Chain A
Amino acid sequence: MHNPQLNANGELTHLLSTEGLPRAIMTQILDTAASFMEVSAREVKKVPLLRGKSVFNLFFENSTRTRTTFEIAAKRLSADVINLDIGRSSTAKGETLLDTIDNLCAMHANLFVVRHASSGAPYLIAEHLRRIGRDDIHVVNAGDGRHAHPTQGLLDMYTIRHYKQDFSNLRVAIVGDILHSRVARSDIHALTTLGVPEVRAIGPETLLPKHLDKLGVHVFHDMAEGLRDCDVVIMLRLQNERMNGALLPSAGEYFRHYGLTPQKLALAKPDAIVMHPGPMNRGVEIHSAVADGPQAVILPQVTFGIAVRMAVMSIVAGN
């Protein structure tokens, strides 16, 4: 089957999803990121790899943090970064997505970082570039709808590997609103590909997608049961709008059942790590004592995220 992320030589040319990403390429991204961690610790936090290249941040949906981490990553690779506030510009005037892309290609773009509320938008762009014969332009998905957020998934894998060394003996729980979470989907595909033997999903029935078991995920509705003996706990952000959609009674009720407190965390392994993609809702999905506690690796995730994005951009730009 044609894999739109890979070129004819099987090399990564766009990063669209962790689904269908070969294990060897995931490992290459994580290994390369480890080298970029060293670059970020230097006095001069910059290497000349993407000197003269133009990286366009196309955020059709707002996300200051993700956009900033991509911007930092591109700048540390010496690329020129152009941030387009799409919501307020051409799209608002009625231009189609692909017309916007054609215009940016005419401005000699080399790489698009795309965040879009619609699932599949980065695929559409990659497919368009292939059709017009621009295999020298690359696309990195920075989150599309409910579908995928592959750089977050990969930085989560980097974090797990950093603290747990390897994936082959782990029990990983993902807690919260998995139904609406592109992070959860990207994590599940990456964890499975990298050989994690037990992936758990914990949440209320209304926030878990059906057929999770077909992805090899064990489903739990009871937090205490699901957390038992886990090595890694990935908390998801509870989006406030879910409360209005009648999916949940209230934030307080949610916290009582699925909020990660020190008491609930004590059921996981004593050396379990707690992750969160941010931004956190303290007192909704996570208790401050956990978020600021010794098992939380939420801030290191942010640091690793820059190195992982540097790795992804430099690998795709070279292929």
Chain B
Amino acid sequence: MEDKNKNRVPLGQKPHIVEKPKDPSAIGGSITVEINEKKVTVPMGTTILEACRENQIHIPTLCYHDDLCFAGVCRLCVVEVEGMPTLAASCSYPITAPIKIKTSTPKVRRARKHVIDLMLSEHYGECYSCIRNNNCELQALAKEYGVTDYTFGHIEKKRYEIDDSSFSIIRDLDKCVLCKRCVRTCIDLQEVGVLEAIGRGHETHIGTFLDKQLADVICINCGQCINRCPTGALHEKEITQDIWSAIDDPTKHVVIQTAPSPRAAIGEEFGLEPGHSMTFKMNTALKRIGFDAVFDTNFTADLTIIEEGTELLLRLYKALVNKDESVKLPQFTSCSPGWVKYLEHFYPEYVGHLSSAKSPQQMFGALLKTYYAKKLKLDPSKIVSCAVMPCSAKKFECNRPEMNDSGYQDVDYGLTTRELAKMIKEAGIHLPEMPDSHFDNPFGDASGAGLIFGVTGGVMEAAIRSVIEFITGDKAEEVFDGMNVMPVRGFEGIKYAEIKIDHVGPVPDLIKHLVPNWDWVKGATLKVAVVHGTANAKKVMDDIKAGGKFSQCHFIEFMACPGGCLGGGGQPIPTNEEIRKKRAEAIYAEDAGLELRKSHENPHIIQTYKEFLTDGPCGHTAHKLLHTHYTVRGKYIA
């Protein structure tokens, strides 16, 4: 996110942005300033805030966020700059001269206190009944600045209706402090453009197009705004009470599937440093809460790889051998419900490119109420299927009308990581102290390929591990060092990789009935791309529309959230680049430590195809339960 401050700056203001020099040691590359009478040297163009942070000087911030461009609207980070008549907002003051800065003078402290007092005067609500109690930046600031009463009064009446129209996101504008982080997230980071400041003066509020409800505008439910909201103004639609009552109902068989990303992050809710994987401790905690069975979403992630990979091979076969021009290539992944909705809205003419394979969550839902119910002789109407996801869009996804292929709602509840942490705490469990336990059968523990779905590039890596083995017959660990497909790893917004297929092997039994041989791919180059964050997706889609480099790809992985699922809208708050990297490390480390790292080698997958999905990948049963269709939505709001 190098140019995060230049994205949408009006043309006239672009020359005012100070670019940091490539080499700070060159003449004029860095500058020495005085911060609190201490001399420090920083690269030219560093902001005062960055300079202070590097020198362990704490400056409170509210509208500033590591992932977003400057706003300079909250005025909390003001400092005194010698010679300036007014206080300067340190977050948006680039250092270009040898200035003298003071960060804690009486004037500065009084100004900051006033800013907090003014925010509190308009901030309706009580901390006890707030979802963000104890994890609220405004609350923390009030404590830091010793607020003991309301200097400028306190609003007594609700001014706005709570908008709970969306399946995923609730907006409570009474708690909004107008920092515009959500606006910058929605417009700059995600390019969805749902939220903006509406009105002027004291009537300003964060609103949608024509002040419609969230369900009526083009929101993709990614929840990135929730992750960046400093207060409780934006939060997910809580469903923990429904799950508690299902657990407490003895006639119900309550099962839960857990996605890879929550495990890498949930420790943060219990005071651990980011980057601790809690997979097996979480299993024990879930059992103690009272879930009847705990399953690994990675199992259906493995299944997704088989289905989506087979679909890709079939598409390529049809396009290259049968010369069928109606085949849509590149194929897009469909695991991220935020991305799927983004495409349905903004590029509806491309829905045919989406893999028809459902996301792992929905595949699991469909299997639980059919295969699992049959196997354990359960009444599917009594199964309550829950899913722990790092995602707020999953709540929308499980409520899609087309996701009822088992005859019932396939997944009843999508829980976010934060909600699950709350349930675990409510049950009186301290997660880090739990003993380990494994996932329940018949699905058991899954492969590392399913696990890395949580990181951007993971779906692609998992697919490559299997597809390469399918086609060449070589072992993936021999082709890629340590089975790590490095070209698709990393946090660049858009990644591109080419894989040359110079020899082919026999067609594996699983898909023998679909493809007679591999001679047609011999010598071909598989072109793939990995994209995360819908702003990057927009760039790639525009390139495809214009017939550019990405239109020549065969398979593209898209994830709506920056960093992939581990940076999802349901993950613990705060989230920034450093935290996302640590979560990714945790996931990759867990994958590297596993015996089983390829989807098609998962014995439970092989068994499922033998017992239940007997007509193989992309066969009739698979199509009925594991594949779906998409809705052309368009971006016009009536």
Q: Do A and B bind each other?
A: no
Q: What residues make up the interface of B, taking CB atoms closer than 8 Å to A? A: none
Q: What residues make up the interface of A, taking CB atoms closer than 8 Å to B? A: none
